[in-house]
Structure 1
């Protein structure tokens, strides 16, 4: 039965979404005050009440809105629109920016026909974000058509929401959800080019059928989510998930977020996270097909034009291609809609010939631009051209990824099938120091290792200590560390804390995909507060990674035979083998340990910030820093970290090449697995400088998940050149060399880029007397 599409407001019988192919084009501007479902007045009244009854938000599923931003999507727009209309979305709020292929004109026609609500989003607007995608989201939250919807999905033009239950419509999805669901976190399935090279005016949902697997991660973004949600609890729209108002999720205002299988994931996704772990992911009810690459020729165009959500065209490069061209497993569920989408698109173009003409013009323009870019790429970078257009290269890459998937699944199966190791022999109780504190058992993993007894002073020889006088005021209560709270009161209750005289080990198991092994640095040694955490603990916690954190209680560079034996015992009990990937990380003293001890987990990755290869006077007689470390015993095992990294998969050395001692240590590391990431002007504080620039988490996550290479790192690091520490260090160097003119130029650069205080300091340096050369 044909149904009206004015503004997407009309509904079929019994409030069901339209799934027929009929179109009725009223050719009029929809009234922006027409509302279905919850009214804006009802919402405002509830929010203004002191004790609001907000239960009405679950009463209707009638109005299903997509908010999207597009840029030059002319050849693909109608397929995307027809598909989502068929599965049950009935309102489309679309923002376009900087289009040159006719997309803007196509959307204007669709808006005039009442099929979409379109806004030109090309110009900056005072008080709104410069980024066009986030600017569009801010504008959308001011529209009653958006805030008055029953459900909202924020999708891009290359994302197709796919329902896996019932007849594949939103009605089937809503019927399968738990009562009073507020949001569904649908997982991405990232689609590669599937070996398709040429751009053709054919349906994407029919052309591309090779995607990422649901169980094994190949890239960090693979398990990203896209959310369909009810708007009442939402404060802001986001790319992957909304930001909920602060009082939602409290007992008085409960909130239910489920994954794509309808399982409760509220605790994990209420306040943060836009990706999940494989264990948290679900696909039984829905997921989102993300056609990030499309055909090779289309990727070439995407690289050239940039994206709707970013003015940074360099973001779409061959690193992006390598990460997301995931032709690993077949995924064909959405192809069941292909015939109906093709028919619906043909009917729409038949009813609106001008729209069809614009579509054809966009396709032709797309084709001509591809020809120009392809010839240019072949002339300038034939190796890159082959990566996109040589069928043998594409096939070899697909086979490599599929072989990697098979190997990782086999390893996962062998770990699951392996019998548990025998329990260790029971040791007598230690009278003074407990060698291990088990906070949570590991029933299907290795037992908590126990260490040989330390030599102890007999009780009879311990002098009595006079009872101290009562303090004048009772001490403040000590707050437990976050890791203890997590082990006892979070879903992640497997782990242990093992303490020795000079070190301690903390293990928290969150997932089996990745283990993050971290080591304290020198600045943490003197910390004695009860809530001390392992280096990088909060980062690993937010990333959802399992962690083994090694605390240092002495400034001896982890030169402790008891620690050597302990790490080997962890290895022998199978702790490292339980995880698909392992990363060792640390800075300075901790970076030495990360490199040195990586040999207990062959195949691990290492991320070492400002590492020392060793402090052995026999090996590095030129090293004059770190007297406590040089005084340690450097005989025995693990003495030379540079010699211990041969079995590592990749060793990332992050260091300042202008810091002579750090550069000398880095030069001692050799091998094909060594990757040098240079950070000029950072000095010995590379990790600190990256953290001050809000880059540290991005770098560690990118390197650990293999989604960042050296080129991407250096492109990111270039953004730090306007940081005060960078300008100050460079200014010192210019002043020492008597480069007054350069100092003044640097001062001008700082002033033009919003650093007036630094500009003044640099100008003062320029006016100072030139130092005499030493």
Structure 2
């Protein structure tokens, strides 16, 4: 290994376990000399074992925000932070791994030896494979887990979308960003030729992107390097790692764990890539544990795990669900046989008038979907419906199109308040209004708070634009609020000449462009090097961009100040805060306002005449009083209440006369 060659390994941890010492030792034996660990900012302090390792100079730690409601996103968030560290360096190699993933090398002793032998390589992507012990034992011994790991599955790990996974070793200082599997974004050096290899040392297919690689067998060579994922070194270890799951989610987690165990019982290929490195790894473990503080924290962690298994974990519903089921199944060749748990009965339907009818051939967990009336939008486009259209389900998003008016298309984007709605009856944003007007509707639905910073949804929208989907309409209106308002502006460049309606939008969450933005932690951690990331740039080709915001709400106002152009119409909604769409809706103005946008009759004068209707809102009264007090106008504040009551009486009298 070159004397001063830096090899940076980044990972993330929620609750470090004793096997983390072995994970560090394994990679130090392969030439890693710098390890950075991201911890959840929900922790009050660095866990004792990690703190001891950091004090000994073996790791670095930093806290980052994790979305606790969406654990699968933690690794993506950590990868984004890892890329920032990688981009700030000028030499050496970087690798990002999950805490149960281990680099394996077939022909070289260390990672620098391999990369130097390949010469002038900029990135190498190695496939991820699952490894198991020959027989999964129930007994858990806290500490090292790799000693018996000598078998692997036949194929690279599936990523859940029909493709397969990999991890990439990258030359530091070249890429501004990364996903867990590979770096992304425009290279800083502007190299005209990038040498990107697979785990066999052969060129990766071009372009260097997920869609190109996923289904191409040439992407997954592993003769030089691969990544070993060890999801279940023992049954109790597997359960220990998942012991922090809430009891209410134990059944779903149990099903996932049993699926892993079923895979472990299937056909294996003997592979000593992990077990074969035991001697060098053990030597590193012994060196690490020579530091008294590390040894003390390590042994304390082992004792804590043993106690958790003996007392706490066995009381957990997840633990009981899996182990009890293993006890019910006769062993095969001396090893426990694992089968799927029975699916629990479906919860009672909330509507007593229309109880769920359990279909005799449909599992109970799908009974509600199978027997409930379908949502209105599905009525329109299902095979027997009256409309043409489609539903496209992507990994984190969905697209719904309903063809009604051949001349006018309304494009809507979800906001963050919708993302956790997984109900069968979920409707596209503004569905009722668009349907009532008879307009064609193209809805972009999000399942996470990502500000549409996902290559898959961006590629799909661009492909639709390139194929002429939007251009066949005479008029296209793009609308949304907050995250959806950002998207309406950011993707307007795909439809030159469109009209945009954005409530309280962000212009971007790119930290370099808006360093003052401190809201939306999940959004700020996304990949803002992807296309359509700065709405202030993307709106230039739109015909009109109507932006409704509260000028008294500073965080939104700063974003609005970044929007420039003769096509931008800024409309103020005082005292709405970040909820201008809610404010306008409560004043019963949202439908007439939307209609004026579609009809292209909305002007500033027309808007403010319409906005006078907000004066009857108690929200407006309280905000006006508060504003007067804050600015020292106490006398004015006292006049607001009587004036508001007088106006309400006039409105009631007028309504009675009209009736």
Structure 2-normalised TM-score? 0.50
TM norm structure 1:
0.43
